Amino acid sequence: MTEINQKTNELAGRGSRLGAVIIDSIIIIPTLIGIAMITGFWDEIMPRMASGIPLSLKENLIMFLVGQSIFLILNGSFLANYGQTIGKRVMKIKIVDMEGNNLGLIKLYSLRYLTFSLFSQIPVAGGLISLVNILFIFGKERRCLHDRLAGTQVIRA
């Protein structure tokens, strides 16, 4: 590999990856809350959740599908064209395969995002899987489980 290629495929730092997740969250969470408030969903579920009454399967499914849809609306074009979410774009990092190539949106979204979002929905085990997924960032390769599953790495853009 030439020095230029090594620079191009330099792994993103853990801090920049965390920063990207924080930026993405700052964008998506208020968006979802706004949608919930406008549709009345917020007034319907918040009192029940505050009282410890669990949401129905239908309500959980609605929240999951709306959340995934908003994620794709906000980030789909950036992921498809640049391998980046808004947060990754701001932090100047991107997702590539192990050879440094961009991936298609379907593979990128389905393996890297959707799969682990589905895992996180499993009571108790989902939280554990999510924690283990994130902790893999502390390995030498700085690859979370979702990176390993999708065959991706996050590099400086």
Segment 13-56, tens digit of pLDDT:
999 999 999 999 999 999 999 999 999 999 999 899 899 999 89
With 0-12 / 13-18 / 19 or more C-beta atoms within 10 angstroms meaning exposed / middle / buried, residue 72 is middle
CA 54 to chain centroid: 25
User: How many residues comprise the chain?
Assistant: 157
Residue 7 has pLDDT above 60, yes or no: no
Q: What is the predicted pLDDT for the residue at 4? A: 40
Report the distance separating Cα 89 and Cα 84, nearest Å: 6
Going by C-beta distance under 8 Å and a sequence separation of 6 or more, which residues neighbour residue 148? 136
Q: Using pLDDT thresholds of 50, 70 and 90, give the confidence band for residue 8.
A: low
Residue 104 has pLDDT above 70, yes or no: yes
What is the value of pTM for the model shown?
0.88
Strand ranges, E, within 1-151: 93-97
Instruction: Tell me the pLDDT tens digit for each residue of 41-99.
Output: 999 998 998 999 998 999 999 999 999 999 999 999 999 999 999 999 999 999 999 99
Q: Using pLDDT thresholds of 50, 70 and 90, give the confidence band for residue 2.
A: very low
Q: What is the predicted pLDDT for the residue at 49? A: 87
Q: Using pLDDT thresholds of 50, 70 and 90, give the confidence band for residue 9.
A: confident
